[in-house]
Amino acid sequence: GKGIAVFTSGGDAQGMNGAVRAVIRMGIYLGAKVYFIKEGYQGMVDGGDNVVEASWSSVSGIIHKGGTVIGSARCKDFRERPGRLKAAKNLVKKNITNLVCIGGDGSLTGANLFRVEWSSLLDELLSTGEITKEERDTCAYLNIVGMVGSIDNDFCGTDMTIGTDSALHRIIEAIDAIVATAYSHQRTFIMEVMGRHCGYLALVAALASEADFVFIPEWPPEPNWPETLCKKLAQERAMGQRLNIIIVAEGAIDREGQPITAEQIRKVVVDQLKQDTRITVLGHVQRGGSPSAFDRILGCRMGAEAVLALFEMKPDSEAVVVSLDGNQAVRVPLMACVEKTKAVAAAMAAKEWEKAVELRGRS
């Protein structure tokens, strides 16, 4: 039958296990041989025990776990052709010509490059005698389906990425805990959340926690933000509010593109308002804990759709990403989404904020 392999790459995210589980089981159900590749591209390059055939029961009891049980890694080797050559050989030896890549835009870009290069990699392996002509012919095409696992919701082309909802739950739990103590002491607190290039977590957490102010990279504040901020905070206190909440994305910047840090904000509030002000940096807590019901189901639905996509692909079909559109799992062209995601970063780098926000769109 068809040889399919699934791997997780780049940063981990809650819900990846649900996606892996669905790929394995849908693949087996449809009669494919399905493999895990452990440790992302590194496992693909190293081969050996990293590429393991999966059974129905090998994915039992993982859907409730955070992170990714098959491991993820950054892999320098795969960025260079010799690394991809080794990876291709390891796949051909197991008759794997279908890949499901669960990762961020970097991982998906790598997967697409691999597909484009595939036949030349196989020609090279044939010429050095590392694979046979028969192996080259039976493995002539590589099909790729991607799913975006990222807590930041930083990918254009899907309404939600796998892991975002769980990270939001974690952030809201942390804010609620801090609100109780801040309320008791009439404090102002500043919470730094993840999102180097994407303010989704910060923005949605701010809305859901009635924050007074939020700093995100796509929409930097006006240069007089310290005044605006202090006016707002003072006004809230004057109306009897006992605490103030400020949310800042780790990638927050000003209109010059310079970072706005939690410490900078704290200094403004302390210097101008003398408010008792504390900073919390949530860090990896946001990636931790068990996946939310939403992320488990999102992973399952996307994983199942990914396998269906592979079964319907022609040998030379372009790579697709399974994405969420409204409440539907749909297939969208992988490279178009990667390019749009890169265009957001480029717009931010060029300080074209309105364009960045428009490009970000629903995702």
Question: Distance (Å, rounded) from C-alpha 363 to C-alpha 352?
Answer: 18
CB nearer ligand ADP, residue 32 or residue 69: 69
107 is in an annotated binding site: yes
Decide: 266 and 250 in contact? Cβ < 8 Å: no
Query: Is residue 163 involved in binding ligand ADP (CB under 6 A)?
Result: no
29, 55, 61, 79: which one contacts ligand ADP (CB under 6 A)? 79
Q: What is the largest CA-CA distance in the chain?
A: 79
Single-letter amino acid, residue 189: F
CB nearer ligand ADP, residue 113 or residue 297: 113
Question: Distance (Å, rounded) from C-alpha 272 to C-alpha 183?
Answer: 21
CB nearer ligand ADP, residue 8 or residue 244: 8
For residue 188, CA distances in Å to 88, 208, 223, 225, 299 come to 55, 17, 22, 17, 37
Concerning whether 152 is annotated as a catalytic residue, the answer is: yes
The enclosing H or E element of 137 equals: helix 133-138
Choices 19-27, 103-111, 325-333, 334-342; region in contact with ligand ADP by CB under 6 A: 103-111
Q: Is 260 exposed, middle or buried (0-12, 13-18, 19+ CB in 10 A)?
A: buried
Query: Is residue 110 involved in binding ligand ADP (CB under 6 A)?
Result: yes
Among residues 12, 46, 152, 154, which one is catalytic?
152
Query: Is residue 262 involved in binding ligand ADP (CB under 6 A)?
Result: no
Decide: 209 and 179 in contact? Cβ < 8 Å: yes
284 is in an annotated binding site: yes
Query: Is residue 18 involved in binding ligand ADP (CB under 6 A)?
Result: no
Question: Distance (Å, rounded) from C-alpha 198 to C-alpha 220?
Answer: 12
Query: Is residue 43 involved in binding ligand ADP (CB under 6 A)?
Result: no
Query: Is residue 342 involved in binding ligand ADP (CB under 6 A)?
Result: no
- Tell me, by CB under 6 A, how many residues bind ligand ADP: 16
Task: Name the residues that contact ligand ADP, by CB under 6 A.
Answer: 9-11, 41, 74-75, 78-79, 103-107, 109-110, 113
Q: Which residues are part of a known binding site?
A: 11, 74-75, 104-107, 150-152, 187, 194-196, 250, 278, 284-287
Query: Which residues are part of the catalytic machinery?
Result: 152
